[in-house]
Amino acid sequence: MKVSLLLLGAALLYARTSKRPTVVQGVFINKASVSKAKQLDWLLLQVKLKVGRTVIAQSTVQSDGHYTISNQSTAKADLVYCGIGVNDDVYLATVLPQQSDTVKLTNELPVSMLKKHGAINCPKCKQKDKVLPIDGRAGVVIQTTDGQRQPYAKKHYYPDSDVSYWLDPHWYCVRDTIKF
């Protein structure tokens, strides 16, 4: 009797943890009038699922802007894009484990820079008090009073490069340490 209950419990635990992976199907759209030459830049993009700094899955964006990526992890993962010419990983969304069989996303590019500092919400934490615009000056490192070296001051985040690209992030969230 005890053995059969133990086996039943193990089977239920296995069934609960061995769900099918969540498939993320997305598309990049461009509402701004960007030339076809810039739309070809999508061929150089990749999307990645990251847990912390670890990449758990990645996929290449197709020429029409579509991508498909599978989340087989049991942890929530951040969906980011990167590529040749893009300075850093750019946050798109958070994918919850086994959220559903398929998650469909539409991502608009380029990110709008028209909003003022203090008026844009972070897409991850939904707060605006720690969102900084990314400044064009590279290599500025601010020394804080507690001895930590940080690439941001109270009003700006300073990237690693002066070169900017139409797909680069324009905002940085200090709380979540993401660029979007």
Structure tokens at 158: 């300073």
Q: Is the peptide bond before 151 cis (omega within 30 degrees of 0)?
A: no
- The pTM assigned to this predicted structure is 0.72
pLDDT digits (tens, 9 = 90+) for 140-169: 777 666 667 777 777 888 777 666 677 788
d(CA 95, CA 98): 9
The answer to whether residues 129 and 152 touch, using CB atoms and an 8 Å cutoff, is: no
Q: For Cα atoms 58, 68, 108, give the angle at the middle one, nearest 5 degrees.
A: 95
pLDDT in tens, 69-89: 988 888 889 999 988 777 788
Q: What is the mean pLDDT of residues 40-67?
A: 85
**Which of 114, 89, 50 lies closest to 168, judged by CA?**
89
How many other CB atoms are there within 10 angstroms of residue 46's CB atom?
18
Q: Which domains does the chain have, with CATH numbers?
A: 21-179 (2.60.40.1120)
Where are any strands of DSSP class E within 30-139?
45-51, 54-60, 66-71, 77-83, 90-95, 102-108, 131-133
What are the phi and psi torsion angles at 20 (to 5°)?
A: -65, 155
